[in-house]
Amino acid sequence: MNLVLNACGVDSLGGINLFKKSAEQLIANNIKLLILYSNEKQIYKINLNENIILKKINLKRHFHPFLNIFLDKKTKNLINKYDAIIHFGNFGFLTNINSFVLIQNLLPFTSKSLKNKVLKFLINKSCKNAKKIIVQLPHVKNFISPKFSEKILEIGSVEVGQLAYENKKSILVFGSEVPNKNYKFIVKTFHALDNNKNLTIINPPNKIEKFNSEILSEKNSLENIMSKSSIYFHASDFETVGLPLYEASSAGLIVVAPDLPYMKYFNKGNIFLYEHRNLDDAKRKLLDAMNYRTNTVKTYTYKENWINILNELN
């Protein structure tokens, strides 16, 4: 089986991590890959071998939905020799082979701006031409037009486990400049809490003096940072998955998050849900989590099975 993986235009940390994990899973199953990439971060530390061909696409991001027009003939012919192409990052370009489109960003489905209306049009066009539309978890199907419902392929699942728990009364969040992540709301909620010494922001987008800050690096891993805290706070308007939620839960942290569809995979027993964008309720649920007494917590681990795609080609 031969596949093309189109990572062009995938820039977010979560999107790049998703692409890498899918590529590594396919590589481990001896799938021959042609990887189209636009940024060195997309292929950094992927275990390359003789089954993998890399092709860098040196075109600006707004050209990526139309690569069938701008790619040279040699590259297009190479692509069309493969069995199928998986487009990461919401939309793809036309080829002569089977196409799979991953819905990775929900902003074009929720924003009314002209830019996002155009992106939604391009996504729907890609969905129309695709053999399958890939979603990670079932709630994403609600954003996709019902006329494409028979094309939807789910690749994600959530596994439930259990870990010992020590309440350190310490809260952890991720910083972000992406508007729907609601970083300003997170900071306001932190300011409403009393003990600043136990509040930590990972990768803050600007200088933070009142709270602790941690910068992810090879020497300072996410696992190491999370081991110092016992509560994870989340505030996004929407998520296709929300990987930090599962990373925190898998590490044994209690999760405090808005009561939104992407949280329906978590058992409410040791998950604290607050009314979306309600600062008072968020503060109240964080205080409840800090005072929560338990010796064990349920853990939620997100996994994907990209081999499901191969079954669609047999």
pLDDT of residue 194: 83
Asked if the structure places residue 237 within a domain, the reply is yes
Q: Could you give the CA distance from residue 299 to residue 226 in angstroms, rounded to a whole number?
A: 14
H/E/C letters for each residue in 115-135?
HHHHHHHHHHHHHHHCCEEEE
pLDDT class of 13 with cuts at 50, 70, 90: confident
Q: Which of 88, 115, 121, 122 is nearest to 11 (CA)?
A: 88
Q: Could you give the CA distance from residue 192 to residue 285 in angstroms, rounded to a whole number?
A: 12
Instruction: Specify whether 168 is located in the same domain as 250.
Output: yes
Asked if the structure places residue 38 within a domain, the reply is yes
Residue 221 or 267, more confident: 221
Instruction: Specify whether 142 is located in the same domain as 163.
Output: no
Q: Is the pLDDT of residue 195 over 80?
A: no
- This prediction has a pTM of 0.92
Instruction: Specify whether 148 is located in the same domain as 165.
Output: no
Instruction: Specify whether 85 is located in the same domain as 122.
Output: yes
Asked if the structure places residue 177 within a domain, the reply is yes
Instruction: Specify whether 116 is located in the same domain as 167.
Output: no
pLDDT class of 208 with cuts at 50, 70, 90: confident
Residue 110 or 313, more confident: 110
Instruction: Specify whether 147 is located in the same domain as 189.
Output: no
pLDDT of residue 71: 95
The upper half-sphere exposure of residue 252, i.e. CA atoms within 13 Å in the direction of its Cβ, equals 18
Number of folded domains in the chain? 2
| pLDDT tens by residue, 218-250 | 899 999 999 999 999 999 999 999 999 999 999
Instruction: Specify whether 73 is located in the same domain as 209.
Output: no
pLDDT of residue 9: 87
261 burial type by CB count under 10 A (0-12 exposed, 13-18 middle, 19+ buried)? middle
| pLDDT tens by residue, 126-169 | 999 999 999 999 999 999 999 999 999 999 999 999 999 999 99
Mean pLDDT of 182-197: 92
Which one of 154, 188, 210 terminates a domain?
154
Q: Which amino acid is at 272?
A: F
Asked if the structure places residue 308 within a domain, the reply is no
- CATH code, domain carrying 77: 3.40.50.2000
Asked if the structure places residue 191 within a domain, the reply is yes
Asked if the structure places residue 310 within a domain, the reply is no
Q: Is the pLDDT of residue 312 over 80?
A: yes
Q: Which residues lie closer than 8 Å to 307 by C-beta, 6 or more apart?
A: 25, 26, 29
Contact indicator for 90, 126 with CB cutoff of 8 Å: yes
Instruction: Specify whether 148 is located in the same domain as 176.
Output: no
Contact indicator for 21, 304 with CB cutoff of 8 Å: yes
Instruction: Specify whether 9 is located in the same domain as 150.
Output: yes
Mean pLDDT of all residues belonging to the chain:
94
Instruction: Specify whether 258 is located in the same domain as 168.
Output: yes
Asked if the structure places residue 311 within a domain, the reply is no
pLDDT class of 310 with cuts at 50, 70, 90: confident
Asked if the structure places residue 61 within a domain, the reply is yes
> By residue range, what is the domain housing residue 226?
159-302
Instruction: Specify whether 83 is located in the same domain as 191.
Output: no
Which one of 116, 135, 154 terminates a domain?
154
Instruction: Specify whether 185 is located in the same domain as 292.
Output: yes
Q: Is the pLDDT of residue 269 over 90?
A: no
Which one of 132, 154, 176 terminates a domain?
154
Mean pLDDT of 37-44: 94
Question: Which residue's entry shows tokens 């390359």?
Answer: 48
Q: Is the pLDDT of residue 32 over 80?
A: yes
